[in-house]
């Protein structure tokens, strides 16, 4: 690889990494124009509570932030990414932590979800890298009461999490509190679905159409 090729690769990886950071800040702060610019016009996103066009995800995210109770907040913490660039296509995989404060259901608690964002990036006619498809791979999650003394007796023993995927059962439970059903295509770490996701991404990176 020539020095010029190495410089171009570093520039591409840096721009992709900047998009990952911009996505998290924009989603959490409600900077919707910036969030929209992170995606290609025909982009899709597949996460626990939504699977479909990124444009619709943004509109529904607006509603979620607007429905936050006083004292509630959410944050996405994004780790360093593993990026593979091939021409005008790239794949990115980064660690992600989803932090959420939930107020009064029936007590305040903090929830955290660990996983990885697995992204397909494209650089199109305008020469800008944007997300073409984003999929969350879920690893584990938990919840902790802000004040354990507020937890009603027997609350945790009565929780039925068996209907939810083990890798994100607390997240799905939390979504149920606001009337949101989890998607049926949630991908868990170490699953056959994750292996297929990576296999399809490798083929796409080499020029195949996405399935």
Task: Report the range of poorest mean pLDDT among 82-86, 98-102, 170-174, 177-181.
Answer: 177-181
Pairing of strands 73-86, 89-102: antiparallel
- State the pLDDT at residue 199: 97
Count, in order, helices (H) and strands (E) of the chain: 6, 7
d(CA 29, CA 21): 12
d(CA 50, CA 130): 20
Q: Above pLDDT 70, what percent of the chain? A: 100
Sequence ranges of the domains in the chain: 3-205
Name the pLDDT band for 1 (thresholds 50, 70, 90): confident
Q: pLDDT tens digits for 40-53? A: 999 999 999 999 99
Among the listed residues 141, 131, 117, 139, the one whose alpha carbon sits nearest the alpha carbon of residue 47: 117
d(CA 181, CA 173): 9
Q: pLDDT tens digits for 125-148? A: 999 999 999 999 999 999 999 999
- State the pLDDT at residue 179: 85
Taking domain 3-205, whether its CATH number is 3.10.450.50 is answered by yes
* Helix (H) or strand (E) run with residue 121 in it: strand 109-123
- State the pLDDT at residue 180: 86
Question: Is the model's pLDDT at 5 over the cut of 90?
Answer: no
Q: Above pLDDT 90, what percent of the chain? A: 91
Query: In the predicted model, what is the mean pLDDT of residues 166-191?
Result: 93
- State the pLDDT at residue 4: 84
- State the pLDDT at residue 178: 85
Q: pLDDT tens digits for 59-74? A: 999 999 999 999 999 9
Q: What is the mean pLDDT of the chain?
A: 95
Question: Is the model's pLDDT at 2 over the cut of 90?
Answer: no
- State the pLDDT at residue 47: 97
């Amino acid at each position: 690889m020539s020095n010029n090729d190495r410089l171009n690769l570093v520039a591409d990886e840096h721009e992709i990494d900047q998009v990952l950071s911009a996505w998290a800040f924009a989603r959490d702060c409600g900077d919707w124009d910036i969030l929209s610019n992170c995606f290609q016009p025909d982009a899709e996103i597949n996460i626990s509570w939504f699977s479909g066009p990124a444009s619709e995800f943004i509109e529904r995210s607006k509603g979620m932030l607007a429905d936050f109770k006083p004292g509630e907040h959410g944050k996405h913490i994004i780790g360093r990414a593993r990026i593979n660039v091939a021409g005008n296509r790239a794949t990115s995989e980064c660690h992600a932590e989803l932090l959420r404060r939930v107020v009064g259901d029936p007590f305040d608690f903090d929830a955290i979800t660990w996983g990885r964002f697995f992204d397909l990036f494209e650089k199109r006619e305008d020469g800008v890298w944007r997300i073409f498809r984003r999929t969350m791979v879920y690893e584990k999650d938990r919840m902790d009461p802000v004040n354990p003394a507020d937890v009603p007796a027997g609350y945790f023993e009565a929780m039925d999490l068996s209907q939810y995927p083990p890798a994100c059962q607390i997240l799905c439970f939390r979504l149920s509190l606001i009337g949101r059903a989890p998607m049926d295509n949630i991908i868990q770490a170490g699953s056959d679905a994750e292996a297929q996701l990576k296999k399809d991404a490798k083929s796409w990176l080499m020029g195949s159409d996405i399935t």
